[in-house]
Amino acid sequence: MSEDKLKSTSDYAENIVHTVREPLLVLDDKFRVISANRSFYSTFKVTPEMSENTLLFDLGNGQWEIPRLRELLEKVLPKSTTIEDFEVEHDFPDIGQKTMLINARRVQTETGATQMILLAIEDITERRSAEEELKRVNAELKLFLQREEVLARLDLLTGLANRRSFYETAKHELERAIRYKRDLTLAYIDLDNFKSINDSLGHEKGDELLASAAATIRSNLRAVDTVARIGGDEFAMLLPETDEQAAVSALQKLRETFDEEMKRRGWSVTMSIGAVTVSDGEEVCVEDLVLKADGLMYLVKDGGKDGLRHQSFSSTDSSGAPTT
């Protein structure tokens, strides 16, 4: 290429440099700075005297010795005429951490040799910071919503599942029991004489009693079982794959363990339990099981409290023979 053509191309590049708002550099094929625009000087706190005819990597007393920038110029750009949005992060001692998007273009001679390199540098530090902050806020919001969802399914006093959660679990377990013809036992528990503890010792002691009852029930469960506080001093249990004999045995053991705990604490509180077992894929809804178990529990209460009534569910049988 003739000297006039080289000068013409250089002048053209110079004109482009000074019309672009973002920081822009013109380098020769050895990565020396031919020129830069005002935005580059103001953004990166250097002067034309410090920059022109200086090796790019030596700018600012070596502040521009950036491995990613070397990678772009020495390895990536030689394989392509144009590179877009090449992200570079660097901590400049004078101006701090910067995140930059670099667009690079090689201006070639007619023989294909690199005549000059144009580097457009977009400072996206604030954008990245805003994006990271948004990610952080979104992550915190997600955790908050997850926590709220968990809390919405818990009884805060006892840490057990609440009524809503129990009904959801019960529907799922009942559907599974019917589909696979498995046994499922649902039990309702009421604490006898709980009101007298509240009235005589105060609600703080009453809350302590409820928490103790919850811990006792939970400690007598298998991992697959579910216990929930339905409200007040009433609890509900789900015992998957538990037939009548196993259910009676487990619930009697629970009553005995609870009685021992209450005696140890000096509280005259017992359990009235009503339980119903569905077997052999019997078609039934959760509401029917709850109604039956609740009714059996109140038969115990009416019969003197401190007992257990169990029944195998049948859609045609409404009797509740006691089991003690």
Domain positions in the chain: 3-129, 155-323
User: Mean pLDDT over residues 285-302, rounded?
Assistant: 92
**pLDDT tens by residue, 70-114:** 999 999 998 888 999 999 999 998 899 999 999 999 888 777 777
pLDDT confidence bin for 1, thresholds 50/70/90: very low
Amino acid code (one letter) for 236: A
- 276: tokens are 């119903």
Name residue 273's beta-bridge partners.
Answer: 189, 308
Beta bridge partners of 277: 185, 312
Q: Do domains 3-129 and 155-323 have the same CATH topology?
A: no
- The pLDDT, as a whole number, for residue 170 is 92
pLDDT at residue 249 is higher than 90 = yes
Whether pLDDT at 322 is above 50: no
Lowest mean per-residue pLDDT among 12-16, 22-26, 30-34, 100-104? 12-16
pLDDT, position 10 = 52
Domain at 3-129: CATH code: 3.30.450.20
pLDDT tens per residue across span 170-198:
999 999 998 989 999 999 999 998 888 87
Lowest mean pLDDT among 18-27, 32-41, 143-152: 143-152
The percent of residues in the chain predicted with pLDDT above 90, rounded, is: 46
> Which pLDDT value is given to residue 324?
47
Give the pLDDT of residue 12.
52
Task: Look at residue 17 in the predicted model and tell me its pLDDT.
Answer: 57
Mean pLDDT to the nearest integer, 252-276: 91
The Cβ of residue 152 has, within 10 Å, a number of other Cβ atoms equal to 10
> Beta strand pairing status for 24-27 and 322-323?
unpaired
Q: What is the mean pLDDT of the chain?
A: 85
Taking 60 as the threshold, does the pLDDT of residue 15 lie above it? no
Q: In the predicted model, is pLDDT for residue 318 greater than 70? A: no
DSSP, residue by residue, 186-223 = EEEEEEETHHHHHHHH-HHHHHHHHHHHHHHHHHTS-T
What is the edge-to-edge ordering of all strands in the sheet holding 234-240? 226-231, 234-240, 184-192, 270-278, 307-312, 322-323
Residue 160 CB coordination number (10 Å): 24
Query: What pLDDT does 86 receive?
Result: 93
Residue 291 has what pLDDT? 93
Six-digit token string for 172: 């799922």
pLDDT for 152 equals: 74
pLDDT at position 323 over 80: no
- Does residue 6 have a pLDDT over 50? no
100, β-bridge pairs: 88, 123
Decide if pLDDT at 120 tops 70: yes
CA dihedral of 140, 145, 146, 147, whole degrees rounded to 10: 90
d(CA 130, CA 245): 63
Which is more confidently placed, 228 or 13? 228
At the topology level, CATH places domain 155-323 in Alpha-Beta Plaits (3.30.70)
Q: Which residues, other chains included, contact 70 with Cβ-Cβ below 8 Å and sequence gap of 6+?
A: 57
Q: What is the phi/psi pair of residue 151, to 5°? A: -65, -35
